[in-house]
Amino acid sequence: MNKEDILRATDASIAHLKNIYGDESETLIADARYGFISGLLKDVLKKPPVDRVTVSDKIDKVIVNRWAGIPIFMAIMYGVFQFTFTLSAPLMGLIDRGFGWLGGQVATVSPNWLGSLLADGIVGGLGSVITFVPPIFLLFIALSVLEDCGYMARAAFVMDRVMHKVGLHGRSFIPMIIGFGCNVPGIMACRTIENPKDRLTTIMINPFMSCGARLPIFILLAGAFFTQNQGLVVFSMYLIGIIVAIIMALVFRKWILPGPSGHFVMELPPYRRPTVSGVLTHMWERGRLFLIKAGTVIFGVVILIWLLSSMPWGIEYASAESWIGQIGSFLAPIFGPCGFGQWQAAVSLFFGFLAKEVVVGTMGTIFAVDEGILGGALATQLGWTPLVAYAFMVFCLLYVPCVASLGAIRGETNSWKWPVISLLYTTAIAWIAATLIYQIGSLL
């Protein structure tokens, strides 16, 4: 029997098993193996009459309870954001004052165009992003603690029932949790999902997870317009992202990628005490990506923004007559129904396609102010209200993934079709959601 005959016989056997049992051959073979192992253990293994209940078992009776599991998960995530804001506020103020002083010194020493580049472009734009290093690193510390202690595995288990209702399973929630740090590794983590349709659906909804790059936008606007409820407002962004992702998963699995979902079998690890070295290592692995972007992509973009804000020579810096003002004025009418139809907002969203941190960096360069004053500039110079700020936050949460995320989708799907679909449908959902929030909020 040659190679082709063997392959044909194999395919015929696989098809025969699937026709009889209605499942994949790998699953049937695994079930048979575990069935044999279970029967063998009954013959050779003696157990005490009552299994010893461990501390992990006692905690899991509450943590993964079918009724209490999801509220506990939400309460823990809310606590994470309160922890992040409480500890980061003084550090942000210190960095903010440092960049404010540096910008003033640079402008004094070099009053010409070089001083404008250094003070307005690099210090104003890059400084407005670097200010958010403390909350981002503190968020990653909190998530690392939850991951190392064993809770994140429980979160996937708790969400399994919800995910099954939309055609996925708990394994899809793990890449979504990873997406809280960065969507790129979250998308790449979908490789562990066996079912092709489950995998593709999870890839397409992962960009709705609020990554660390969006956090500077949320912190800036929450601090400026929702001073008393910063943690709650930012928590609502993460919650909205999860809800939209689940809704779109239902749409994909019901109409675009229909079919049965795969199986989810997971062994819950025992609870462990996180180590300082482990937590700091995980924090650095995630946080250094933000610093690398700040030193490369964001640095380059703020210089480009400064140049476009200064050209043509002789016009007022960052005015509507500048090149960047003309670009923004062309795009601004699109965002009028959303409540932020100003050219400054439009152009910041346009460049935010490169990296979401650039949204804050662009505004910082245009207004040539540090982070502490930037929020006030949005209220005074653009006339933003809390309603407009919230609609803008939702749009930034949901609209087109960054270039790196689209590249990851291209790599994982081996097609340009799905990145283009992701670009179009996420932006459409973001525009609809922001418009509804602003228009309904205006009526109320």
pLDDT in tens, 84-98: 878 888 888 788 777
Q: Are residues 42 and 174 in the same domain?
A: no
283 and 420 housed in the same domain: yes
Residue 340 lies in a domain: yes
Q: Is residue 162 part of a domain?
A: yes
Burial per residue of 21-57, b for 16 or more beta-carbon CB atoms within 10 angstroms, e otherwise: eeebeeebeeeeeeeeeeeeeeeeeeeeeeeeeeebe
Closest CA to 143 of 223, 187, 203, 81: 81
First to last CA, the chain: 77
Cα 310 to Cα 302: distance, rounded to the nearest angstrom: 12
* Residues 22 and 156 placed together within one structural domain of the fold: no
In this structure, the answer to whether residues 51 and 75 fall within a common structural domain is no
Residues 269 and 342 in one domain: yes
Q: Would residue 5 count as lying in a domain?
A: no
> How confident is the model over 378-427, as pLDDT tens digits?
888 888 999 999 999 999 999 998 888 999 999 999 999 999 999 999 99
In a domain, 6, yes or no: no
In a domain, 165, yes or no: yes
Query: Cα–Cα distance between 234 and 236 in angstroms, integer?
Result: 5
The residue whose two tokens read 């982070």 is 371
Assigned domain for 10 exists: no
Residues 29, 148: one domain? no
Asked which of 61, 84, 115 is the last residue of a domain, the reply is: 61
The 3-class SS string of 170-237 reads HHHHHHHHHCCCCHHHHHHHHHHCCCHHHHHHHHHHHHHCCCCCCHHHHHHHHHHHCHHHHHHHHHHH
Same domain, 255 and 160: yes
Range of 31's domain? 17-61
Phi-psi category of 55—alpha, beta or left, where left has phi over 0 and alpha has psi -120 to 50? alpha
- One domain, residues 43 and 80: no
In the chain, which residues have pLDDT < 50?
none
* Residues 56 and 76 reside in one and the same domain: no
Residue 46 lies in a domain: yes
Is 153 within 8 Å of 266 (Cβ atoms)? Answer: yes
- The answer to whether position 74 is within a domain reads yes
The answer on 99 and 44 residing in a single domain is no
Per the CB < 8 A criterion, the answer to whether 70 and 162 are in contact is: yes
Domain boundary residue among 7, 32, 61?
61
Structure tokens given for 195: 């079912």
Residues 253 and 340 in one domain: yes
**Domain tally for the chain?**
2
**CA of residue 122 relative to chain centroid, distance:** 26
Q: Is residue 318 a contact partner of residue 367, using CB atoms and an 8 Å limit? A: yes
The per-residue pLDDT for 336 is 95
Q: Do 45 and 77 sit in the same domain of this protein?
A: no
